[in-house]
């Protein structure tokens, strides 16, 4: 599954978004991004009560916009260091409860023009659980390149 803040059809899935950036004394940029994204991951048990027990695992790729005023024409952002964090913000279920953010990481690219990519593995129990929203907070240090 992929959700992109840059896609006008998916942009409404992002809410409470915040972004700041500032120049460090060594010329690099510090960027802080946070927000909530609606994922609506439903386990197979949501529609079928006879689904076998266990976890339904789904990989998710989030494309999150960099601050629009940070990059000038022709510039891109080269990521040097990052600290991502992803948490569960809303969930629902029937009986046996279980939701998970199993892992998350930023995809290191040579340079990003207007977004960064956060990859994660999510899980919900097959018994009918739904993972509705995730919260993210990402700290970046990088360089502006031409």
Confidence label for 109 from pLDDT (cuts 50, 70 and 90): confident
Provide the residue range defining the domain that includes 16: 2-37+63-93+103-121+130-145
Q: Which pLDDT belongs to residue 4?
A: 95
pLDDT (tens digit per residue) in 22-64: 999 999 999 999 999 999 888 877 667 677 778 889 999 999 9
- In a domain, residue 56? The reply is no
- In a domain, residue 46? The reply is no
Contacts of 126 (CB under 8 A, 6+ apart): 43, 44, 45, 51, 52, 53, 54, 55, 56
| pTM of the predicted protein model | 0.86
């Amino acid at each position: 599954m992929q959700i992109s803040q840059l896609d006008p059809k998916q942009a409404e899935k992002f809410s409470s978004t915040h972004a700041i950036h500032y120049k460090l004394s060594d010329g690099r940029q510090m960027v802080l991004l946070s927000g909530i994204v609606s994922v609506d991951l439903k386990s197979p048990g949501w529609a079928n009560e006879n689904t076998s027990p266990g976890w339904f695992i789904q990989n998710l790729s989030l494309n999150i916009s960099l601050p629009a005023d940070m990059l000038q024409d022709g510039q891109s952002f080269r990521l040097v260091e990052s600290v991502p964090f992803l948490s569960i913000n809303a969930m629902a279920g029937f009986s046996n409860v279980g939701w998970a953010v199993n892992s998350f990481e930023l995809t290191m690219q040579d340079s990003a023009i207007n977004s960064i990519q956060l990859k994660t593995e999510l899980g919900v129990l097959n018994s009918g659980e739904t993972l509705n929203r995730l919260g993210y907070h990402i700290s970046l240090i990088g360089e502006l390149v031409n």
